[in-house]
Amino acid sequence: MDADDLELFRTAVIGTIAGRSGSALDSALAELGWLDAFDDDPRAAISVLFEAQGEACTASSSLARLMAHVLGHDGVLLLPSISSSDPPGLIDGTSIIVRGTSPTAGADRLVVVVADSSISRAVTTTADRFDFHRIGGLDPDLGLFEVSGTIASDDAVEAEWTAAVDLGRIALAHELTGVAAAMLELARTHALEREQFGQPIAGFQAVKHRLADTLIAIETARAAVDLAWDDRSSTTAAMAKAVAGRSARTAMKHCQQVLAGIGFTIEHPLHRYVRRVVSLDLTLGSSQTLTSRLGAEIIADGDLPPMLAL
């Protein structure tokens, strides 16, 4: 997309997201033809949708649909259990034991990926084969279900799980950046409006520097995401996810402090973003896990990953 197309697309996506979540948002995005936009320009489609979704702090099954699409399947991909990045299916003789999460209980088709020694395989099946258990937890608005069941392994076809995870991580990195940017805007607005000692608290350097540090963290995440898109390796996709998760946690801490009392109440939207930061950071590998894994790989290799050429 050129700059004008991108702006039109962004406006359309933001309009589609406004006031919608869950299956209503899924239908509206399908009507908008978001997956076609993805086929046309993956980077534009992912960055615009997931950042907007993060900024609005809404939820859809776009991540699971995107990952299924990357694997060449139509439907909703069963995501790993929270905090895991492994395929949710395990071969057990002629059947597959499934334990994962899904953003919806109402999908016509569910795509289950199975780890089968060194390769992964995917099975498309119907949702009625599984038990769905609603996850409340810290972030109930995410609308996740814990999914379990046993299915036959007959129709499993080869699937590039890693490719799906890589793109899923990049999408989540965009979403985390959107969440962080929204928190910064909430805190910034508050700092300019809230007066103490006869002036907006934005005038105090202690406040300014917290918000500046938040922007630095967000821009660091954006740079890491840019790197992942330019480089398109599993290593840099994981880096983007880790940096975005850590940056969003930094933003969460600073913005909570600036928003202080009002940000602690449920009359202010901040708490929803705080919940979202934690749940997104834990999806497909937390910043902590991905970071220590990167360090361990570097130590094992005795060298840094290749750096992106100018």
Partner 1 sequence: MEAYIDVDVDVDIGTLGALPSPSMDLDVFKSELDAWLDAHADELRPSFAGGGSLDQQVEQLGKVRRLLFDAGWMRWGWPERVGGLGGSNLLRAYLGEAVTLRGLWEPGFSALHEVLAPTMIEYAEPALGAEMVPRLLRGDEMWCQGFSEPGTGSNLASLACRSVRDGDGWRVNGQKVWTSLAQYSQRCILLTRSGTTESLHRGITALFVDMDTPGITVRPIGAMHGHEEFCEVFFDDVFVPGDRTLGGEGKGWAVAMDILPYERSTALWHRAAYLHDRLRRVVRTAPPGSLDPSKLGEITQLLFSFRSRSRSTQYRLHHGGTLGAETSIDKSLLAQAEQAVFDLAESALGLSLLVDDGPLQDQWRSEFMYSRAATIYGGSSEIQRNIIARRLLGLGNDR
Choose the stretch contacting partner 1; rule: CB under 8 A; options: 24-32, 95-103, 157-165, 184-192: 184-192
195 lines the binding site for partner 1 (CB under 8 A) = no
Strand, coil or helix: 83:
coil
Choose the stretch contacting partner 1; rule: CB under 8 A; options: 30-38, 125-133, 163-171, 202-210: 202-210
Q: Which is nearer to partner 1, 170 or 227 (CB)?
A: 227
Q: In sequence order, what are the beta bridge partners of 145? A: 102, 134
216 lines the binding site for partner 1 (CB under 8 A) = yes
Out of 10, 208, 268, 271, the only residue in the binding site for partner 1 (CB under 8 A) is 208
Based on its alpha-carbon atoms, the radius of gyration of the chain, rounded to whole angstroms, reads 20
Q: Which of residues 37-56 bind partner 1 (CB under 8 A)?
A: none
Q: CA 177, 183, 184: angle at the middle one, nearest 5?
A: 90
Choose the stretch contacting partner 1; rule: CB under 8 A; options: 72-80, 108-116, 187-195, 275-283: 187-195
Q: Which is nearer to partner 1, 157 or 192 (CB)?
A: 192
Q: Own/partner pairs for 106-112, CB < 8 Å, 24+ apart?
A: 106/23, 107/61, 107/75, 107/76, 108/75, 109/73, 109/74, 109/75, 109/76, 110/75, 110/76, 110/77, 110/78, 110/147, 111/68, 111/71, 111/73, 111/75, 111/76, 111/77, 111/78, 112/78, 112/88, 112/151
Q: Which of residues 226-245 bind partner 1 (CB under 8 A)?
A: 226-227, 230, 236, 239, 242-243
Out of 48, 170, 181, 224, the only residue in the binding site for partner 1 (CB under 8 A) is 224
CB 268 within 8 A of CB 262: yes
212 lines the binding site for partner 1 (CB under 8 A) = yes
Out of 69, 73, 246, 254, the only residue in the binding site for partner 1 (CB under 8 A) is 246
205 lines the binding site for partner 1 (CB under 8 A) = yes
Q: CA 49, 53, 54: angle at the middle one, nearest 5?
A: 120
Q: Which is nearer to partner 1, 119 or 216 (CB)?
A: 216
Choose the stretch contacting partner 1; rule: CB under 8 A; options: 8-16, 116-124, 214-222, 272-280: 214-222
Phi-psi label, residue 137: left if phi above 0, alpha if psi -120 to 50, beta otherwise: left
260 lines the binding site for partner 1 (CB under 8 A) = no
Q: How many CB atoms lie within 10 A of CB 185?
A: 12
Q: How far apart are CA 88 and CA 67, in angstroms?
A: 13
Tokens read off for 144: 């996740």
Q: Which of residues 276-305 bind partner 1 (CB under 8 A)?
A: 288, 290-296, 298-299, 302-305
Tokens read off for 1: 């997309």
Tokens read off for 240: 């983007």
213 lines the binding site for partner 1 (CB under 8 A) = yes
Q: Which of residues 143-182 bind partner 1 (CB under 8 A)?
A: none
Q: How far is CA 45 from CA 29, 36, 42, 58, 284, in A?
A: 11, 9, 5, 17, 20
In the complex, what is the shortest distance from the CB of residue 215 to partner 1, in angstroms, rounded to a whole number? 6
Q: Which residues bind partner 1 (CB under 8 A)?
A: 188, 191-192, 199-200, 202-203, 205, 207-209, 211-213, 215-216, 219-221, 223-224, 226-227, 230, 236, 239, 242-243, 246, 288, 290-296, 298-299, 302-305, 307-310
